[in-house]
A and B are shown apart, each in its own frame.
Chain A
Amino acid sequence: MLEFLNRVFGREAGGSKNVAKERLRLVLVHDRASVSPQLLQTLKTELIKVIEKYMDIDEESLEINLDSNETQVALVASIPVKGMKRVTRNLASGI
């Protein structure tokens, strides 16, 4: 009853709130994606440690970036591989 009267005496529901929420969500996606160069450097070092267990990689030309478009953020890594480690070849052939 109250709802009905509110609707009669008020305006139509479904106003600008959703627009605000969506704009806020997008702006925060970008805000929150900005990481410090220091953090990226730490991440890079840790990644190299893990990957080197399995592959020979070219550390010099390894690149890590955060790419963000309109709706999402992605961690993009370009890691040139020079060759596989023996342990990886063994794992792959099931020995």
Chain B
Amino acid sequence: MGEVIVVTSGKGGVGKTTTTANLGAGLATHGHRVVLVDADIGLRNLDVVLGLENRIVYDITDVTGGHCRLRQALIKDKRFEGLFLLPAAQTKDKTAVSPDQMKALCEELKQEFDYVIIDCPAGIEQGFRNAIAGADKAIVVTTPEVAAVRDADRIIGLLEAAELRDPKLIINRIRPRMVRHGDMMSIEDIIDILAIDLLGVVPEDEMVVISTNRGEPVVQDERSRSGRAYRNIVRRIKGEPVPMMNLDEGGFVSRFLRRMIGLS
């Protein structure tokens, strides 16, 4: 019996889809069977981030509407053994799937997969309510900005009202240099305000843009810092105690000095 994890945010554009894709790919490389569900009906995105956009035949509404069997709609990722995608519909609206249908779908997927990860649409409307209907656990993604943290706070309240207790936080796109200069809220600042457990921190990284362009999850990139951050988060989801990454690599001068002293 697997577990259903919903990835939420409140505010759009903070990195839910990228997070979903990377956590899924990361968990699959650990040998787990993982299915990613794109619950953003009408705005299909997860397929593009995963590079699976050309292989879609059926979507989630075909499954809930009984036009095809669940198995037919699942797209197998050829690069990651055990990773599957259930795409969102592109031509319908958020009411195309009901909370009860979503619950039933999650129950069915749980039988067959270790992890069911749901990419939730932004906002707090029906799409959000549908996406969380069948979830056991929730991850909240935010960036270190006032608007994103405010919306994260609202989402945490709504998750708790929906009996999804103890959501975990991922802080995305943090810029260590700006934090050091006092021009960006730090991890501690955000955790203090939201009073929620931290699951991980992903530094701002151009490699994410490049990997999304290519449709290859950055989690498999050994050299990128964001990839390493995602790999750490994956291990924490599995229950391993992984210490937080040291984001303070410093600027050019301190990097140079560290290399001289051998502190790399």
Q: Show the binding face of A for B, using Cβ within 8 Å.
A: 1-2, 5-6, 9-18, 20-21, 23-25, 27-28, 31-32
From the candidates B157, B193, B252, B257, name the one contacting A25 in the complex (CB within 8 A).
B193
Query: What A residues does B124 contact at CB under 8 A?
Result: none
Query: What A residues does B181 contact at CB under 8 A?
Result: 10-13, 15
Confirm or deny: B251 has a beta carbon within 8 angstroms of a beta carbon on chain A: yes
CB–CB B257/A1 < 8 A: yes
Confirm or deny: B240 has a beta carbon within 8 angstroms of a beta carbon on chain A: no
The size class of the interface chain B forms with chain A is 20 to 34
CB–CB B251/A9 < 8 A: yes
Q: Show the binding face of B for A, using Cβ within 8 Å.
A: 145-146, 149-150, 153-154, 157, 177-186, 189, 193, 250-254, 257-258
CB–CB B257/A21 < 8 A: no
From the candidates A12, A14, A24, A32, name the one contacting B149 in the complex (CB within 8 A).
A24
Complex: A18 Cα to B185 Cα, angstroms? 8
CB–CB A6/B180 < 8 A: yes
From the candidates A9, A16, A31, name the one contacting B150 in the complex (CB within 8 A).
A31
Query: What B residues does A16 contact at CB under 8 A?
Result: 182-183
Complex: A2 Cα to B254 Cα, angstroms? 6
B257 and chain A: residue at smallest CB distance: A2
A27 and chain B: residue at smallest CB distance: B150
A16 and chain B: residue at smallest CB distance: B183
State how many angstroms separate the Cβ of B218 from the closest Cβ of chain A: 27
B151 and chain A: residue at smallest CB distance: A31
Complex: A20 Cα to B154 Cα, angstroms? 17
CB–CB A20/B146 < 8 A: yes
CB–CB A28/B182 < 8 A: no
Q: Contacts A14-B182, A17-B184, A24-B193 given; indicate if A5 touches B150 (C-beta within 8 A).
A: no
Complex: A25 Cα to B258 Cα, angstroms? 37
Q: Contacts A6-B251, A28-B153 given; indicate if A15 touches B146 (C-beta within 8 A).
A: no
Query: What A residues does B250 contact at CB under 8 A?
Result: 2, 6
State how many angstroms separate the Cβ of B175 from the closest Cβ of chain A: 11
CB–CB A17/B153 < 8 A: no
CB–CB B189/A17 < 8 A: yes
Q: Contacts A2-B250, A2-B254, A9-B251 given; indicate if A24 touches B150 (C-beta within 8 A).
A: yes
